[in-house]
Structure 1
Amino acid sequence: MLGWRRAAASVLLLPRRAGWRPAAAMSSLLVGQPQYAWLRELGLQEDNPGVYNGRWGGGGQVVTTYCPANNEPIARVRQASLEDYEETVKKAKEAWQVWADIPAPKRGEVVRQIGDALRQKIKVLGSLVSLEMGKIYVEGVGEVQEYVDVCDYAVGLSRMIGGPVLPSESAPTTSLTSVAVTKIVAKVLEDNKIPGAVCSLICGGADIGTAMARDERMDLLSFTGSTEVGKQVALMVQERFGRSLLELGGNNAIIVFEDADLNLVIPSTLFAAVGTAGQRCTTARRLFLHENIHDEVVEKLVKAYAQVRIGDPWDSDTLYGPLHTKAAVKMFLDAVEQAKQQGGSVVYGGKVINRPGNYVEPTIVTGLAHNAPIVHTETFAPILYVLKFKEEEEVFAWNNEVKQGLSSSIFTRDLGRIFRWLGPKGSDCGIVNVNIPTSGAEIGGAFGGEKHTGGGRESGSDSWKLYMKRSTCTINYSKDLPLAQGIKFQ
């Protein structure tokens, strides 16, 4: 789960404060400036290859990554061309021949070494996540820690199933983190004399993604992203009868009954709605409050929101950083305006913060109908729609009426209600919580959702099943041929 505790005192220096100006001779890229020398520890340069298949390369378009806290350029990455893609797939198929002959426990040992290598770089990698994505430092470190924890979990699975589980969720706008992690993994593979193409990396645009979706050599394609793009991916993969694992959107709800412990509700809602500036797939976007406690909870929430420390992601006191891109800021403003037009009242936030970077105010909107179009639209931003309800049956139905079905949570002390919530007429989501937030999931729990969320389980106890082929094997050890349905040949 996301950590909201203070970061350790050894926080690495991240983007400079507003008003600071470099000397004329200094690089215009952050990676080339002395105070960001720690990026070199990860093997990052001003220009970085975005393809790895046993060797580094890339012949495609050059893209620049920016720090969302101040919109200054960090470094450049050369993406893959279609020729790079073809070469990488070929080498990956060749590497599979080697990997397939390695027993699962030995694969687990390699994964253990990967986890250890990441653990050694956890602070500097966490700083890179914060620099490139905009997460606060504690969350950046937590992101890497989750990768390490998944590696540890996979080591145990390697003794029970036929292969390890490796997380792969790199986004196209955080390519430097992808490059840095791949460099660490590649070193472990090299030390174990395993082909580097076992863990290939291709940074690319829509042309590369389309090629992957249509490539019959791709036995399984895992996609994390928007529902709209996920649908296109699923259709292209299905056209060739391939398999896809989709982890798409989530319009998650918290339901609070009048018997709930508000000492749990307020921090849980704040954590779920404001954490990562509302940019988690499990972020709470809808808050259903029983009509008898609606006003009291809203008042307490507004006070709690006012205490959220907004600032530089690298400051240990900061709890809330910037949105990832300028486009996300526009999406936030559009959603706030639509909410107003559809009858909502902004009781907190709703504006862009006047400072460098992509900062917006965490926002609370009340007064909307449960089925207002904007309420049914997932907006990847810190906007919480607060809605009233009267009866259990209606609010359970409202929880389920959106197209997505990722995470959900209720707050109550009624055991009967809890089991109805967990039962067939309760939540239709893949993650069904009680008295805890919608965000934050245990490593061992199957992570994924239903309906337009995609139905896949990309992490946890069930993820490995999709990465394996299922066969039913029957062996006849006798000299006779037993036939089905009592059929006999004379």
Structure 2
Amino acid sequence: DVVVWKPSEKAPLCSVACQNLFHKVLKDNDVPEGVVSIINGNYRVGEFMTKDKRVPLVSATGSIRMGKIVGQTVAARLGRSLLELGGNNAIIVTPNADMDVVLPATVFGAVGTCGQRCTSTRRLIIHESIYDDVKNKLVNAYKQLRIGDPLDVNNHVGPLIDKDAVNTYLAALEKIREQGGKFAVEGGVLEGPGYESGCYVKPCIAEAKPDMEIVQQETFAPILYLLKYKDLDEAIAIQNGVPQGLSSAIMTLNLRESERFLSAAGSDCGIANVNIGTSGAEIGGAFGGEKETGGGRESGSDSWKAYMRRQTNTINWGDKVPLAQGIKFDLG
């Protein structure tokens, strides 16, 4: 099949670089370069693609708002869509967790790529008996974060993608305060040498309640919410109690807890991990989520079904036609 792709207008140079790699591979293998084509532009390009009947399948990755528009538009012409949308990913930390696993998984999940992964950790659901201990260890870990040029391998956190993302981050901080949240690690925009772009922000930690409006939404920034629970049933209910359903994890050395989390009575997400964070090397699996995440699978064991056209063939080499349900149809 031929691929026409529209990258984010926020990263046009990266997309052109990728396209050059595609062209080299195609050319080296005597495949026409037009098999993979790129169209850079704003949202109007996406609108044209979703409405064009020559595009039988539209695979879209992005916000829930965008996905709802794409899904409705493509469905109106009876086309097919594959949607991978927002995630509001959580890790449950039980009293049986190994803290040497919890801390690096949580910190990387929350601040890696400056919280700009669809699988970034947004919520940490901690048992009340270990809540203060986990919080204090996280606060200490955040003090050690190095924020700066992402090309410097010694740094942990780079910038947000643009000023719009910074404004969204700042608006979320304000909503956290308005809705009763309390910051264990304060956020803010960094200033000074190396931070002239205005896009470098402080990863922050907020103590919150599961039903707070801001917690129910995904903010594409390094904001981690700490939530407290009493028993595993409550933890799973909190985990599942958001509109999104992409990635999830439980930290425990208790087999019963882990199997409950992985069962039909456990996580309702497309990805459910045990003793590994929400953000990892998941590309080999059937990557995607449920609920408002869209239901699509972009890689792994299920993706090929979406990207191909299904055809059923029945072939008869005999001298008689077998009829359905064994019906006799005598024409004399």
Same fold (TM over 0.5): yes
For 1:77, the equivalent position in structure 2 comes to none
Any conservation in 1 of the 2:5–2:38 contact (CA below 8 Å)? no
Q: Distance in 1 between matches of 2:236 and 2:122?
A: 16
Q: CA deviation at 1:388?
A: 0.4
Give the SS at the match of 2:142: helix
Equivalent-residue separation in structure 2 for 1:360 and 1:442 (angstroms): 27
Number of residue-to-residue matches in the alignment: 326
Q: Secondary structure of the residue that 1:289 maps to in structure 2?
A: strand
**1:434 and 2:274 correspond:** yes
The amino acid that maps onto 2:201 is: V
SS at match of 1:458: coil
Counterpart CA distance in 1 for 2:106 and 2:248 is 12
Partner of 1:369: 209
Instruction: Name the CA distance, whole Å, in 2 between partners of 1:195 and 1:259.
Output: 56
In the TM superposition, 1:92-171 aligns within 5 A as 170-171=7-8
* 2:305 alignment counterpart: 465
Find the partner of 1:480 among 311, 320, 328: 320
- Secondary structure of the residue aligned to 1:266 is helix
Partner of 1:400: 240
Q: Is the 8 A contact 2:86 2:246 kept in 1?
A: yes
CA deviation after TM superposition for structure 1 residue 322, in Å: 0.8
With normalisation by structure 1, the TM-score equals: 0.65
Q: TM-score, normalised by structure 2?
A: 0.95
Q: For the Cα contact (< 8 Å) 2:297–2:303, is it kept in 1?
A: yes
The alignment-based identity, stated in percent, is 54
Residue in structure 1 matched with residue 175 of structure 2 by the alignment: 338
Partners of 1:247 and 1:291 in 2: CA distance: 33
1:217 aligns with 2:51: no
Rounded to whole Å, the distance in 1 between the matches of 2:112 and 2:224 is 12
Unaligned runs of 5+ in 1: 1-95, 100-165
**2:153 aligned partner, one-letter code:** S
The unaligned stretches of length 5 or more in structure 2 are none
Q: Which amino acid aligns with 2:9?
A: P
Q: For 1:254 and 1:181, how far apart are their aligned partners in 2? A: 33
The change in CA–CA distance for 1:198 and 1:456 in structure 2 (over 3 A counts) is same
Tell me the distance in 2 between the aligned counterparts of 1:276 and 1:236.
32
Name the counterpart of 2:151. 314
Cα deviation 1:424-481 (Å, max 9, x = unaligned)? 0100101100000000133321111111111111122322221111111111222222
Q: How does 1:26-425 map to 2 (within 5 A)?
A: 170-354=7-191, 355-357=195-197, 358-366=199-207, 368-425=208-265
The amino acid across from 1:361 in the alignment is K
C-alpha contact (below 8 Å) 1:285/1:385 kept by paired residues: yes
The alpha-carbon deviation at position 401 of structure 1 amounts to: 1.3
**CA separation in 2, counterparts of 1:325 and 1:222?**
25
Deviation at 1:489, TM superposition (A): 1.2
Counterpart Cα distance in 1 of 2:285 and 2:212: 33
Output the CA distance in 1 between the equivalents of 2:77 and 2:5: 23
For CA contacts below 8 A with separation 6 or more, give which structure has more relative contact order.
2
CA contact (8 A) 1:216 1:240 kept: yes
How far apart, CA to CA, are the structure 2 residues paired with 1:167 and 1:209? 11
Q: Is the 8 A contact 2:5 2:39 kept in 1?
A: no
CA contact (8 A) 2:6 2:41 kept: no
Contact kept in structure 2, 1:441 and 1:447, CA below 8 Å: no
Structure 1 residue 205, shift from structure 2 partner: 1.4
Deviation sequence 1:85-144 (CA, Å, 0-9, x none): xxxxxxxxxxx6xx8xxxxxxxxxxxxxxxxxxxxxxxxxxxxxxxxxxxxxxxxxxxxx
Alignment-mate amino acid for residue 129 of structure 2: N
